[in-house]
Amino acid sequence: MRLGIVGLGFVALAAAGCAQVQTANPDTVPASDEHAVQETGPSPGAASDSDSLPLQARSPNAPTEAAPPPPPANLWQRIRGGFQLSNLQGPLVEEWEQWYSSRPDYVSRMVERSSRFLYHVVEEVERRGMPTEIALLPMIESAYNPQAHSRSHASGMWQFIPTTGKTYGLRQNFWYDGRRDPIAATSAALDYLEKLHDMFGDWELALAAYNWGEGAVSRAIAKNQARGLPADYGSLTMPPETRNYVPKLQAVKNLLSNPQAYGLVLADIPNRPYFATVRTDRHIDVKLAARLAEMPLEEFRFLNPAHNKPVIKAEGGEFILLPLDKAEVFRRNLNAHGQPLVSWQAYTVKRSDKAERIAAQHGMSLAQLKEVNAIAPRKSIVSGQTLMVPVTGNAEPHLPDLPAPAVARAPKAAKSRQVAHARVAAARKPAARAAHPQAKPVKVSARIKKGPPANRAMVTVQSRKVALAASEKGAPK
C-alpha cells in the first residue's frame, strides 16, 4: 500500500495530479512548511549588489526595512483583520443578533465544529483575495457541519444541491459525495462565489444569488430596472430566506467582532492547521481507518463525511483527513497491520431476494442490515437496491463503480395539483358540512383505494367534490 501525507495547502494540486513536493520525509509535510513561499532574489548566502559596494559608497542613513509583524495566534483576530464588506444595519440584522445571542449553546457548538475547518477556509479565502466574511458563510449555511443535509437535498457545510455540485466539479457516486468533502466543497463554493461576484459586481448580490440562484437574482434586477427602480440587494423583491441571508451573515460578523457586547464567550481557535491529508491507493474500512489513527470513530467520520459507506473506495487514490498529531500514528499502525483492510462489499438486491434472507446469509439481523445501510426501520428493501454486506471468508470484496442514488422527487406538476386539491378540500370541508350535513362521501372502488397514496388523496378530494355537487343540486337557490 502506498501512502503519502500531503500538506493542507497542496491538496488541490495532489488531487489534480500535479508534481509532488519532495521533503525530507516523503510521507509528512510539517505544518509550518505547508504554505512556504519561495521568494525571488539572491539566496541567503549569496553576495548582493550592496555587499559589493565599497564601504564609503554605502549610505549610513539608509532606512532599514521593518520586519513584518508576527501572525496573530488567534484565528478570530486574523479573520477580523480581513473584513471588507460594508456593514449592513436594520431590523433584520438586530433580529438575528438577538437570535444568536440568546442561544449561546448553539453558538458554542458552531464554533467547536468550525475549529476543524476554519483555518483551511480562511487560507483559501485570503489566497483568492476575497473578504474574510466569506469564511463565515458556512456558519449560516450549515453551522459548519459537513454532515448537514437539508430537505431540498443540499448537502455539506456549503450546502450544495446535486446539480450545482456537479457543475463545480464535485464528484458524486455511491461511495463518495464531494459536496460533503470539506476541502473539495470549499474550493467549489469559492469558485462559485467568485463567478457570482464577477457576474453582479457586488458581494451582497453575489451572496443573494448563492442562496436564491443567479437566474432568480438576474430576473429580479431586470424587473426593477424595467420599472426604473434601484437594483441593489436592499431594493429587490426576493423570498424571505434570501431577504434574511445577508442580514444573518452580518449578525454573525457582529457577534464575532465583539462577542462580549452580546454576552457571548468565544473559544479561541489557533491560527494553524488542524488536519493533514493522507492519500491511500487501497480500499480500507472506515472503522479500521479510525482505529489505526487511534481516534474516535465519530470524529473520524466528522472529518471524512464524503466517504459515506463503511468502506473508503480508493480507486485511483483517495484522501483521508486526520488531525495533525494522528497522521504519523496512522501511518505507523497501518504499516504494522498485516490483516485485510476491507470487510464490507456491495450487494445488489435481486427480484427474487427476501430482505430477511439477505441478512441471514451474511450473518446479520434485518435490523443490523438496515442500520448499516442507513435504511429506516419501516422502509422496505427493494429490488435493484445496492446494499453493503460483510465479505464472506477470504473472498475478494466486490466494490464496483456505482452511480449516486437517484434523488426521489415527485413531478412538480403532480405535486402542485395535489397541494391545490388538498387546500381546496381543507377550505371547503367545514363550510360544506355546515351547509349540507346530508352530504356523504361517494363510494370509491376497492381497486382505487389500494392505489398509491397520491392517487388515493386525489380521489378522496374528487369524491368530496362530487358529494358536495350532488347535495347542492337540491339546496335552495
Q: How far is CA 287 from CA 144, 302, 353, 364, in A?
A: 24, 13, 28, 18
* 204 is known as an active-site residue: no
For the chain, the C-alpha Rg in angstroms (whole number) is: 29
449: which residues sit within 8 A by CB, 6+ positions away? Answer: 456, 459
Judge whether 5 and 327 are in contact, CB under 8 Å.
yes
Here the contacts of 381-387 (C-beta below 8 Å, separation 24 or greater) are: 381/349, 381/355, 382/349, 383/349, 383/350, 383/351, 383/353, 384/348, 384/349, 385/348, 385/349, 386/174, 386/346, 386/347, 386/348, 386/349, 387/346, 387/347, 387/348, 387/349, 387/358
Sign of the alpha-carbon dihedral angle for 236, 239, 243, 246: negative
The Cα-based distances of 340 to 310, 328, 343, 396, 409 in angstroms read 14, 21, 7, 10, 40
- The one catalytic residue in 123, 141, 204, 318 is 141
C-alpha cell at 365: 439481523
What φ, ψ does residue 13 adopt, rounded to 5°?
A: -65, -40
Alpha-carbon dihedral of residues 289, 295, 296, 298, nearest 10 degrees?
-60
Element (H, E) at 93: helix 91-101
Q: How many CA atoms lie within 13 A of 32 on its CB side?
A: 0
Q: Please report, in angstroms and rounded to a whole number, the separation of the first and last CA atoms in the chain.
A: 86
Active site residues: 141
